[in-house]
Each structure stands twice: as structure tokens, then as C-alpha cells.
Copies of this chain bind each other. A is one copy, B any other.
Amino acid sequence: MFEFTFQFDTENHQHLYEQIYIYIKNEIREGKLPRGEKLPSSRALAEYLQVSRSTVCLAYEQLLSEGYVETKPYKGYYVCEISELQKMKIGKEKTSEPVYCAEKNDMENADEDAAYIDFSPNAVDMRYFPFDTWRRTSKNVLMDDKSELFSMGHPQGEWKLRNTIVNYLHQSRGVVCRPEQIMIGAGNDYLLMLLGQMFENDTIVAMEDPTYLRAYRMFSAFGWQVETIGMDEAGMKVEEIYQTKASLAYAMPSHQFPIGTVMPIGRRMELIKWAKQAKERYIIEDDYDSEFRFKGKPIPALAANDAEKVIYIGSFSKSVAPAIRVSFMVLPEKLLPLYQKKCGYLACTVSRVDQMILQEFIDSGSFARYLNKMRKRYKEKHDLLLTELKAFQPYYDIRGTEAGLHILISSKTGLPEKKLVELAKREGVKVYALSQNCRERNMAHDNTVLLGFGKLTEEEIKLGIGALKRAWLL
């Protein structure tokens, strides 16, 4: 074990883990801790410093995330090799890059200093991803060195992948459609941009509040007028849409973001009834994470109830991987001529190779296997989170637990969300204020934060909730 000449600064406002982290970081930077050197185990260092093991873990995690140390399986933490550190120095400007986050998130308010346990509602767990299968599939696709793979493909996406999606949608979401109705695009936001091209600039769209803020911003950028619609426990209050001149309604019936409401069949029918009352009315269904449902039976998509009035948007960002950038849209038959006219000239934004890899991945059954595994994994995390949160029940309301990769927690004692976020941050935990997703500041949400569990390990969930207990209950 290296010489650990370390003294906690009790006058210091920094957390213990922060002091440990800064000390080790400086030792590495100054070369006192040589490259390749093994760090003491968290248990040993915790004993030595007389702090809890989780404090040391947090310090190590931070060093790891910043690239100072690396882990070797079954061995422990090691100071990174010279080449890695040099790369860091060369790429130094990189640290001046803005912080970025995953899908369905508002990233402008992201903290500069990364949290150590991050309950991001958008992150997913990639540890179980079948990289070998994906790699093999990629290799096979590229094996046929047909140059056509590199020439321009169909603007709506590869026919085979669209066929595969037709089958998937039918089996998993109850949606019946033809490949001609499907448009493949690089992410949901891009598909929304296509809708921006299709509908006039003076379109009026109804959205819940709070809603997916990125969609709200994009609609505004198209010049569309957004009408805010209230929500109750069944979701969007359809009677309020009638009081507007909206021709489009944007909804997430399977799992509203951020509230987590699952829209019951009665409300769905009301929504469809509204759309049916005028030719130009359509519902945009954003089905962003419907794959993960933890209570009751699977509920078909809204598009399964009415194929003529629902524009369905689905994504493989949560179910496969955020970085593969493949989403798809199903347009009602009646909108196809409009699509052809307004967007038919646009090339597909996803490469043909990527489309073929995904198609093979789905057709071979690997996708279904992976999805089943992840459903179990996420269910375990979800259940663990709820168990750990039991201690909060007297003082906090917990909602949005039926589906998806995040839940909501609200202070019954009136602690404002800002305070909740701040207290958590002091304990090294990042939680997300609900108001970041509200267009109009709504006091009813002012005491609520989002806890996402997708990416966290069970260990991290326990550590994180432990820290939140210290932050919010003591």
C-alpha cells in the first residue's frame, strides 16, 4: 500500500469523499502515485481512514469516471497507464465541453460537477448488452461486400427492417400496419422534425403539462402554437382539448413522461373520439419506453385502438441502446400522400449497414432475448428501489411505479424540489427536479423529484437511497 499521508480537513466544507478524491487525484497528477500502481481496497482504506466504506467507494467512483484510475476485474483499482493520462492531457479542452445527458432529459440545467450516484431518468443499463452477438451480426452484414450497402437506400428506410418492425409492432404493441407506413429515422427528435415539415407552421398542438420538454421546444421551433392541457390520475384531460383549436395532440399513453401515468382505456377512447370528430385531427403517440412495464398485463399502444388517427413513434434507444440512433414512425394511411409531398425527397438518416444489423438482431431472436433479460433486471432494480424507499413513506409520496425506468417522489412536508435536489447533492447524489419538465411553473409539482434507476447497480441503488435518507430524513 502506498504511503497515504492524508489528513481530513475538518474546517473544510468539502465532503469526506471529496477530500479523499482530491488527495488521490493530486497524488496521481504529481506522479507521486505511479502509473499502474494498485490502490488500496476500499475496505482497507476505509479502515485506515476510519470512514465508511461507501465514502471511499464514492471517491474511487469519481476517480474512475474522470479516468484517473481503472478497474481490473477481481483485482481492484489501478492508476491509469501513462498513455491514457497523456491522452487526457492532449484532449484537455475536452473538459471544457458542455455536460450532456441522455434522451428525455433537459440538459441545460445539468450540473458542471458530476454527481457520484446519478438517478438519471434517462440512462439505461448496458452491462448486459450482448456485445458479442452485435459484433458478430455487424461482421456478417459487412461480409457480403455488396457495394449497394453503401449506396443510397430507401428514404423511408430499408424494406426488410420496416417489415421486421411491422412484425414487432404487431406482436408486442398490437399495432397493425404495412411497411409503407413506416419511416425510419435517427432518433425521435428527427421524426418530430419530419412532422414539423408535414404540418403547417400555424399548427396548434395540445400537450400535457408537464411533458417531454424537448418535444415542446421543437414544436415551438416549428412555429406551432402549444396549448397546455391539464392532467389528472388518468392522464391528459381530454375535455380541455375541446376548449382549444388544436388539430394535433401529443401524448404518451403507455407511460407519461415525466409523471409516469399509464392512460386507462376509457381516457384513451375519449382521446380517439376527440380526434375522430374532425378530419384534420391526429394524435401523436410517443411510445418511448413501453417495453418496461412492472404491474399488470401489457397494454397495447394507442395506435392499436385506432390506426387512422394515431401517428405512432417508437424507438430502440431504451430497448437496444441509446447510441444506435434508430427510431421509427407509423403514419396513418391517409397521411402518406402528405408525407410524400413534404418529406418524400429527404434521404433516410440511418445508415443502411446499421439498419441491417438491427434487423438481423431482431430477426434472429437476440432482441427478444435481450428485452426479456432486461425486463427482469429492471424489475429487480425497480422492486429494490421501492423496498429501499419504504422508510420515506411517512413523509413522502411515491408515484409512477407501474412502468418505465423512473419513479416520482414528493415531499408531503412541503420541502421544495430545489431543496430536495440540493440536499441530495450534498450527499453526493443527483436527483432531477420535476419542474424542469414543466412548461408553466405549476406549484403542485414544486415538491417532486424524479428518481431514475435504469443505469444504477443494485449496490448503487442501496448506496444512493442510503445517502438520500441522510439527506432528506435526518
Contacts and interface: CB of A to CB of B under 8 A. Distances in A.
B345 A325 contact: no
Nearest to A321: B150
A148 to B, nearest CB: 8
B97 A180 contact: yes
Interface in A118-146: 122-124, 126-127, 129, 131-132, 134-135, 138-139, 142-143, 145
A27 to B, nearest CB: 26
A94 interface: yes
Interface of A: 91, 93-94, 96-98, 100-103, 106-108, 122-124, 126-127, 129, 131-132, 134-135, 138-139, 142-143, 145, 147-155, 159, 179-180, 186-187, 189-190, 193, 196-197, 201, 213-214, 217-218, 221-223, 321-325, 340, 342, 344-354
Given A138-B138, A223-B223, A152 B349 contact: no
A150 B324 contact: yes
B186 A97 contact: no
Contacts of A159: 91, 94, 97
Nearest to A347: B187
A189 B185 CA distance: 13
Contacts of A152: 100-103, 122, 322-323
A345 B180 contact: no
6 contacts: A129-B147, A129-B150, A131-B142, A186-B349, A217-B345, A221-B342
> Number of copies of this chain in the oligomer?
2
Given A323-B151, A323-B152, A135 B129 contact: no
Nearest to A159: B94
A151 B138 contact: no
A102 B151 CA distance: 8
A244 to B, nearest CB: 21
A349 B325 contact: yes
A134 B141 CA distance: 12
B349 A351 contact: no
A427 B189 CA distance: 45
A62 B346 CA distance: 27
Contacts of A223: 201, 223
Contact of A126 (B151, B196, B344, B348): B151
Contact of A186 (B123, B186, B218): B186
A147 B135 contact: no
Contacts of A91: 159
A348 B324 contact: no
Contacts of A101: 152
Given A107-B345, A135-B139, 18 more contacts: A97-B154, A98-B340, A100-B152, A100-B155, A102-B151, A106-B345, A108-B345, A149-B323, A186-B186, A186-B190, A187-B349, A189-B346, A189-B347, A197-B218, A197-B221, A217-B345, A222-B222, A351-B351
B145 A131 contact: yes
Contact of A151 (B94, B123, B139): B123
Which of A190, A193, A197, A325: most chain B Cβ within 10 A? A325
